[in-house]
Amino acid sequence: MSSITLNSVEKWFGNVQVIKGVDLTINEGEFVIFVGPSGCGKSTLLRMIAGLEETSRGQIMIGERDATAEPPSKRGLAMVFQSYALYPHMSVRDNVGFPLKSAGLPKADIDAKVNEAARVLKLDDYMDRRPKDLSGGQRQRVAIGRSIVRDPTAFLFDEPLSNLDAALRVEMRYEIAKLHQTLKSTMIYVTHDQVEAMTLADRIVVLEFGRIAQVGSPRELYEKPANLFVAQFIGSPR
Ligand code: ADP
Ligand code: MG
């Protein structure tokens, strides 16, 4: 588990600036949600934290370490995308264990880690199935399982539930809340869904055109929106 700090972070694509000087500290074990309308820079910021997008200016700290120039593999973070890329020809067990097998861990260690992930995520009943025989929610859980086994210092989620139907979204939202309680990991979660943000977050970061419009607890944002943009986005009757 680690804190993550962004110091005056900027992102330029050519001469277009999409992240405009973001300062933010995400505390150890905190569940922070990035919200904002489509195109405001949520995914870009998350991808910069993951190291999948270069940081044009500023600094990204993971714990006490300057990670700005580190490749994704060195950062120790788990990224869970909306499109859960599972290996279709592998069982759930092998999908979850794959990162450890690739890393060359002994089989006994892999089994122990995979069983632990299965327990936390309630995957036990379908460990021998292929992804095609799972529901959307189950597949999402397998994808999360695959990231848990590496003991990431933080989890990064980019709209992980947006491919699911409404009922499953509610169920998975609950699962993710439980996962946070169980693992007590730092989690950064991107969504454009206000309800998801309000129910899951310790703190919400509202992004507007690549800048932070406001950071606060769901309650703070609801009761004291910093401006009309936040008020409208959070849905406060102001
Ligand atoms: P969000 O996730 O909030 O919808 P994004 O972070 O995907 O927003 O995008 C923020 C802005 O950056 C958008 O205007 C988008 O078009 C632009 N953008 C994202 N990726 C690239 C890229 N690889 N090249 C150029 N522009 C990009
Ligand atoms: Mg996005």
The per-residue pLDDT for range 135-184, each reduced to its tens digit, is: 888 888 898 899 889 889 999 999 988 877 888 888 888 888 988 998 89
| Percentage of the chain lying above the pLDDT 70 cut | 97
**CA distances for 87 relative to 55, 98, 126, 145, 183, angstroms:** 31, 9, 15, 13, 25
What's residue 236's pLDDT? 53
Any bridge partners for residue 80, and if so which? Answer: 157
C-alpha 232 – ligand 1 centre gap (Å): 22
Ligand 1 test: best mutation among 18, 20, 49, 188, most atoms within 8 Å of CB?
18
Q: Which 3 state secondary structure label does DSSP give 225?
A: coil
pLDDT tens digits along 79-123: 887 666 899 999 999 999 998 999 899 999 999 999 999 988 889
Q: Is the ipTM of this complex over 0.95?
A: yes
Residue 20 has pLDDT above 50, yes or no: yes
User: pTM of the full predicted structure?
Assistant: 0.91
Q: Does ligand 1 lie within 6 Å of residue 38's CB atom? A: yes
Q: Counting every residue, how long is the chain? A: 238
